[in-house]
Amino acid sequence: MDLQNFEQSLLALQQSAIDELKGVSRREDALQIKNRYLGKKGQVQAQMSVLRELPNEQRRDAGRISNSTKQAIEQAFQKVMSDIAQAELDAKLASEALDVTLPARKPKLHRSHPLVQTEQELIALFAEMGFAVAQGPEIEKDYYNFEALNFPADHPARDMQDTFMIDQQGLLRTHTSPVQIRTMLAYKPPVQIIAPGRVYRVDDDPTHSPVFHQIEGLLVDVGVTMADLKGTLRHFIDRCFGKQTPMRLRPSFFPFTEPSAEVDIGCIFCAQKGCRVCSQTGWLEILGSGMVDPNVFKSCGIDPERYTGFAFGLGVERIAMLKYQISDIRLLFQNDVRFLEQFS
Ligand code: PHE
């Protein structure tokens, strides 16, 4: 063995190590190859044993040669390792690619509940006509809910079958009419208010809910007539259901109004031809109304000889159901987003 042989065999090892490392894609494979050449029992190390056979003056050169082989193999190994790392990074970046030009996902925006929308629209409509908003408690006294409103002591509405009683005097108001009393006790005429709010009745079926919403209207002044009531309601119906909508006042009875009238509109579903919604009558009842009963004025210390007034009470659910053609009142209380999302 001479130096030249030694160099050739090392270069051959170097070449075959580099060839083997080329294109290796797993770290453990690369490490294994490297160890096979550079490990303690590796092929390069094996060649080193022949160093001893070389004459002394050639050993330095031999050392240099073997160092350069080791370096070359180590470099090839490092190159493969960094290629593998780069390939992994490329793959990761490709799989996590972000298109920063994509439009952002829209957040789900709050929308008002259809009942709230309807209530707000009605309040705005009456506010335009000069009605101020008044409020009263939902837990009401029998006095305001019934007695001051001229309900006879034996009136069936006072029965527990209809009213959620709390105790002898306390109850959940069955209508917004007690706000009429509270307002007239607090303010002298002229009075022109609407009172929106929740009311309660022992009732539960597709068209009745134990809690629902009303808007009460009250206008008291000198010289108020039923024509004022009719004109006000006509304007409300024009705005709410359209100018072509027929309207009629149908004689009725409420203890706190005299005369009283229920107000119907021509059925908006069948153009008055008769359908299931209007029970073939061509008419839909939308509210109760009338001229304030003198006894109600007396309960509030207002002189019925000097003042007259009209009042009306409408159901917000009923208006919303007609406007949006909702067939079951319970849909308005179940809070199913698929239902609610239809009202933008
Ligand atoms: N309070 C009545 C009801 O709930 C409606 C009404 C209000 C009628 C005002 C006349 C005047 O049925």
Give me the domains of the chain, ranges plus CATH numbers.
Answer: 3-95 (no CATH), 114-343 (3.30.930.10)
Q: Which residues line ligand 1 (CB under 6 A)?
A: 175, 177, 216, 254, 257, 288-290, 311-313
Atom from ligand 1 closest to the CA of residue 177: 1
Q: Whose CA is nearest to atom 12 of ligand 1?
A: 288
Question: What is the C-alpha to C-alpha distance for residues 180 and 163, in angstroms, rounded to an integer?
Answer: 19
What pLDDT was estimated at residue 57?
84
Query: For position 1, what pLDDT does the model report?
Result: 66
CB atoms within 10 A of CB 244: 9
97-128 as b/e, with b when 16 or more CB fall inside 10 Å? eeeeeeeeeeeeeeeeebbebbbebbbebbee
For residue 174, the ligand 1 atom closest to its alpha carbon is 4
State which of 144, 174, 175 you would mutate to test the pocket of ligand 1, scoring each by most atoms of that ligand within 8 A of its C-beta.
175
Distance between CA atoms of residues 161 and 275, nearest Å:
31
* Radius of gyration in angstroms for the set of CA atoms belonging to the chain, rounded to a whole number: 46
Q: Ligand 1 centre and the CA of 173: distance in Å?
A: 12
- What was the pLDDT predicted at 294? 98
Look at residue 6 in the predicted model and tell me its pLDDT: 86
Q: How far is CA 55 from the centre of its chain?
A: 91
**Stated pTM of the model:** 0.70
Question: Quick one: pLDDT at residue 160?
Answer: 66
Residue ID of nearest Cα to ligand 1 atom 7: 313
pLDDT of residue 251: 98
Q: Separation of 313 CA from ligand 1 center, angstroms?
A: 4
Q: At what angle do helices 27-38 and 56-95 cross, to 10 degrees?
A: 180
**Distance in angstroms (rounded) separating the CA atoms of residues 214 and 316:** 5
Give all strands of the β-sheet with 247-254 in edge-to-edge order.
Answer: 132-133, 191-200, 211-221, 308-315, 283-292, 257-266, 247-254
Q: What count of residues does the chain have?
A: 344
What CA–CA distance (Å, rounded) separates 278 from 281?
6
pLDDT less than 70: residues of the chain? 1, 160
Q: Please give the C-alpha separations between residue 121 and each of 20, 52, 235, in angstroms, as whole numbers.
A: 81, 105, 14
- Atom 5 of ligand 1: nearest residue by CA position: 313
Strand, coil or helix: 129 = coil
Q: Give tens-digit pLDDT for 153-184.
A: 888 777 767 899 998 889 999 999 999 999 99
Q: Which atom of ligand 1 is nearest to the CA of 260?
A: 10
Please give the Cα distance from 132 to 134 (Å, whole number). Answer: 7
Name residue, tokens 């160093």: 51
